[in-house]
Amino acid sequence: MKNHTEIKALVFDVFGTIVDWRSGVAREAQSFLNRHAPGLNAFDFADAWRREYSPSMEEVRSGRRPYVRLDVLNRENLVSVLTHYGIVDVPDPEIDELNLAWHRLDPWPDAVAALCSLKRKFIIAPLSNGNIRLMVDIAKRVGLPWDAILGAEVARAYKPSPQVYSETVDILGLAPPELCLVAAHNSDLAAARQLGLTTAFVARPTEHGPHQRTDLKAEAAWDFVVDDLNELAQQLGCAD
């Protein structure tokens, strides 16, 4: 384990690490599906929508498309998924409202209390691919106590593009080891480590549902490996 005395700020992946996107999107989609596709499982719909997430961001990461915020990509992906399932003639206001499902996600049970503990000692902020308004809406709804909103819209790039991490270090006025990325995704941590950031893996083995196959465990010797954020707070000397 790395000596944590040099860490001054913690930044967090949000979708999957802080909030349970799958359950939240399925919950928000259920009434929509009851009207338009009553035979379609809401979790299957949520999974299909999420599968469009990374490919749509790769268009931006590759330079094939200029940066647009995640709300725009999510809406385009939603239209694609509706078309895939044969759900047609949905009024635009209904599509817009369903797209806001991502703004109304619930945190994992340990998240809020642990973040409040960590905030007493460290600067804490999201380092998410979600845009600023998206992050603010989630935080205000459930009480995430961020000190700042950082991530893709600030850097105008999507993780794991290097500039997302390097610009965050610069914005906070820190040396890379003084900034710790906390994430449930090994690829996110690997990109951060290449830029010299401290890394913390938190296990979220049901992010993708009961049959998850990826990110079930730490796949490298990250600086911290924990089962939940309360354990991370304890290791960093922030537990109540």
Q: What is the DSSP string of 23-51?
A: HHHHHHHHHHHHHH-TTS-HHHHHHHHHH
CATH 1.10.150.240, applies to 21-103: yes
User: What are the CB-based long-range contacts (under 8 Å, 24+) for 81-84?
Assistant: 81/45, 81/48, 81/49, 81/52, 84/48
> How far is 230 from 183, CA to CA, in rounded Å?
14
Tokens of 195: 């830029």
CA distances 160 to 1, 151, 220, 233, Å, are 24, 11, 17, 25
**What pTM does this model have?**
0.95
Do 41 and 86 contact (CB within 8 A), yes or no?
Answer: no
pLDDT at 1 (0 to 100):
53
**Domain chopping of the chain, boundaries:** 4-20+107-235, 21-103
**Strand-strand pairing, 123-128 and 150-151:** parallel
Of 64, 25, 28, nearest to 46 by C-alpha is 25
Kindly give the confidence (pLDDT) of every residue in the chain, 240 residues in length, as a single tens digit, with 9 standing for 90 and above. 555 679 999 999 999 999 999 999 999 999 999 999 999 999 999 999 999 999 999 999 999 999 999 999 999 999 999 999 999 999 999 999 999 999 999 999 999 999 999 999 999 999 999 999 999 999 999 999 999 999 999 999 999 999 999 999 999 999 999 999 999 999 999 999 999 999 999 999 999 999 999 999 999 999 999 999 999 999 999 976
State the fold for domain 4-20+107-235: Rossmann fold (3.40.50)
With vertex at residue 203, the alpha carbon angle to CA 198 and CA 204, rounded to the nearest 5 degrees, is 125
